[in-house]
Structure 1
């Protein structure tokens, strides 16, 4: 265990309530924004008014749709990023010591994985193999698929932390369901020596590396619809690309 166990019943109840609140409301907030984009022309005000007027059916009448195509596309994306994560060359970096005493190694190849991903996407779009606005046009379905993927990972690693943790010193098992679920149960779960699932998903599949593709896809959709890209879209895409580049360049810090 890497965190002191709460002993007082007040602390336990507060931890459980806060953990449940975060787990329950974050997906709803995420889905609310998605509904505003998909059904209310990106107007948060209009979506809020609809939520107040139909609080029970607002979400239930707009449940996400997961299709076989979206599952295949998302799994293909995950596998592609996993191949880059494993096989793209990069220096090995030893991370600080964990609470359990481990010194884990990471292959820092994120920058080149990002460049390769953008280059392949650009070529596929230029050659006509890929609609550059694909992510934006199918945002709702892909987001729903990503939520299913994330939920599956949460369940798998919640069980793994209890059945076969990599290191008991890097697990957090308090016996309180929501608090343990929120914390994940285990620090840095791995497959093999270098495949770190937390690092992989946070920085690659649905995290930092994907940001640029998302921004460019929405910029492409704006251009397809209106014939131009606004200055605010250009600035937002550019600034976030700088953030992504900076993250991968200084990934060892």
Structure 2
């Protein structure tokens, strides 16, 4: 449980350490603002939109398809391996957004809020998937400790 709590805090601590005047990792960095200022609804919507875009790009029929670890039923799930195509499409969309005059300064201006939003969204999705796993039939699960 320590890893579950501490792992998402590592990028946050690194960003805060890099923001400090001396840039030292040996001192515990201080938050530059109150905890309430770390939450930004716009930043959360940007992170959510970006994740939904990546989900949509994953569904595109590009790249190769790989089979996963056998389930208890013997069936194998299929996975699209289209990360390079998704990356190129993402960067193309960012370039189009910039060319269209969309304000992309939210990234450098609110990077701390974007990071907190990404950590929060990751925790929410992880918790929902964990809860959903209890309703899956046993034949649809991979044997414990054998996830590939």
TM-score band, normalised by shorter chain: 0.7 to 0.9
Say which SS state the counterpart of residue 106 (structure 1) adopts.
strand
The CA deviation at 1:80 is 1.4
The answer to whether the 8 Å contact 1:88/1:113 transfers is no
| CA contact 1:67–1:141 (8 Å) conserved in 2 | yes
Question: What does residue 70 of structure 2 align with?
Answer: 98
1:125 is aligned to 98
Task: Check if 1:73 corresponds to 2:54.
Answer: no
Change (3 A) 1:166 1:77: farther
Provide the C-alpha distance between the structure 2 equivalents of 1:42 and 1:84, rounded to a whole number of angstroms: 41
- Quote the offset at 1:107 in angstroms: 2.2
Mapped to 1, the partners of 2:138 and 2:124 lie a distance apart of 19
Unmatched 5+ stretches in structure 2: none
Aligned residues: 146
Deviation (angstroms), 1:136: 3.1
What is the rounded CA distance, in whole Å, between the counterparts of 2:23 and 2:10 in structure 1?
A: 14
1:43 matched to 2:51? The reply is no
What SS does the aligned partner of 1:85 have? helix
CA shift, 1:142, in A, is 0.5
Contact 1:165-1:171 at 8 Å conserved across structures = no
Matched, 1:112 2:85: yes
Local SS of the residue matching 1:170: coil
* Corresponding residue for residue 23 of structure 1: 4
Alignment of 1:153-192 (within 5 A): 153-164=125-136, 167=139, 169-170=141-142, 172=144
Unaligned runs of 5+ in 1: 1-19, 53-57, 173-182, 189-253
Report 1 or 2 for greater relative contact order, CA contacts < 8 Å, sequence distance ≥ 6: 2
Does 2:64 align with 1:83? no
| Stretches of 4+ aligned residues off by more than 4 angstroms | none
- Deviation per residue, 1:174-205 (Å, 9 max, x gap): xxxxxxxxx8xx959xxxxxxxxxxxxxxxxx
- Tell me how far 1:92 sits from its aligned partner: 2.8
Greater radius of gyration (CA): 1
The structure where helix makes up a greater share of residues is 1
TM-score (structure 2 length as normaliser) = 0.76
Secondary structure, aligned partner of 2:79: strand
**Do the aligned partners of residues 106 and 129 (structure 1) sit closer, same or farther apart at CA in structure 2, a change above 3 Å counting?**
same
Shift of 1:88: 4.6
